[in-house]
Structure 1
């Protein structure tokens, strides 16, 4: 194994030292929330009733608080071809959860933009900003104290980091990211590139 370059080593050491207070505060928060457990059993009747009002046949299990409840955060929309498989995932996940004695609820959806659609448009300036919005939306979806674990549905370079950043606020909950994979458009990348070049040339 090659030795780390001295400059990289020094910068890494500075980052570790500088981030100690913030990192320790985060670790303390996660330990405290882990030890406190999930809030669902402690929610008032009104809060809890709102939490499972739309859950159909899963209401008794969620109300009873005896089964694991999985919070689903989805980045699905009809604009991202790679997200197309996610359209039916939540309903399937609810069925699979019931089969093992658990429940699943969609905790929230995040606004996931497609760079492929916005390239060359004024709106492409929102691309980097969207990561922070996704992180905030993820945290909002998980803030209700209803879940023992998290399943995140999303793929793409801004969406995945946003989901993970938001989920880290709830680092005491077991979390899994479910990538959907590509959806072929029927056009080879070289052909797309050729058409875009022709369009750019007018």
Structure 2
């Protein structure tokens, strides 16, 4: 099994090594979340100034993404709520200042990115996560004068899988809708 896993990892690295490399633009990247609040309303918030790398080869239908999400950038529009979200009850920003998503495999349908499977590290725990691509495109940026690729991705995750159990036993939802938007410019 280890030999097979190692061989597959090397094949993936070799394939994405030929892909064009892009740098995520923090001004055009964010991760927003929505969670039901005891069946009454939906709490929203987001993380901004995401950084990282994208490797993408449309012809070979391969890709790779490594996104760093700074927990300190969390913004719900309410500073008091942000302070609680960053506390040890939830995101524990003091001990875990970043979240990270690293892809394992990109899926394509009709030549377009349809899903990205990978791993999300949150609260020091790494678990599998699949992101559905609702939009993905590349274009020649008239401002940057270089190719830019990016898209919108979404999923619903069970926060308790990462040990974020705050108020679940009191009836607060464990399911969180996550939307990630990135744009990345070719290096």
The two structures share one fold, judged by TM-score above 0.5: no
Higher helix share: 1
TM-score by length of 2: 0.24
Between structure 1 and structure 2, the one with the greater Rg is 1
TM-score by length of 1: 0.23
Higher strand share: 2
